[in-house]
């Protein structure tokens, strides 16, 4: 699942107005967090996630693990917030951040 630079620019433009839906903090990436990330990606396709981790290396490792376990693509990482994208099989026009009017 690779997207072009133009596609990522479009996704960043949409993601700018979004608020983080999931926060990953002290307990890390638990099964419940992975399930919630999967549900949010199925519903919204493009989501922001807030990471509350100690250092850059831990954050990079956590981002790689999130992307691997959810089959999502990292669109952008700024500070402690990341923007993830995963295309839905059957997007819901009422929930999808890509199909709703901006």
| Tokens linked to 54 | 């100690």
Q: Cα 9–35–56 angle (5° rounding)?
A: 55
Catalogue all structural domains in the chain, each as residue range(s) with its CATH number: 5-85 (3.30.110.60)
Identify the three-state secondary structure at position 20: strand
pLDDT of amino acid 26: 85
For 29, list phi and psi in degrees, rounded to 5: -95, 85
| Residue for token pair 């981002």 | 63
CA nearest 41: which of 5, 69, 60? 69
pLDDT of amino acid 2: 57
- Taking only the tens of pLDDT, the chain with its 102 residues reads 557 889 999 999 999 999 999 999 988 899 999 999 999 999 999 999 999 988 899 999 999 999 999 999 999 999 999 999 999 888 888 888 888 766
pLDDT of amino acid 102: 62
């Amino acid at each position: 699942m690779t997207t072009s630079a133009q596609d990522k620019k479009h996704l960043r433009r949409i993601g700018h107005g979004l608020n983080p839906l999931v926060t990953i903090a002290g307990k890390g990436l638990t099964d419940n967090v992975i399930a919630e990330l999967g549900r949010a990606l199925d519903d919204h396709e493009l989501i922001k996630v807030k990471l509350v981790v100690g250092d850059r290396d831990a954050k990079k490792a956590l981002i790689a693990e999130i992307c691997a376990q959810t089959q999502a693509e990292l669109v952008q990482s700024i500070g402690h917030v990341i923007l993830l994208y995963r295309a839905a099989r059957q997007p819901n026009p009422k929930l999808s951040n890509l199909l709703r009017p901006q």
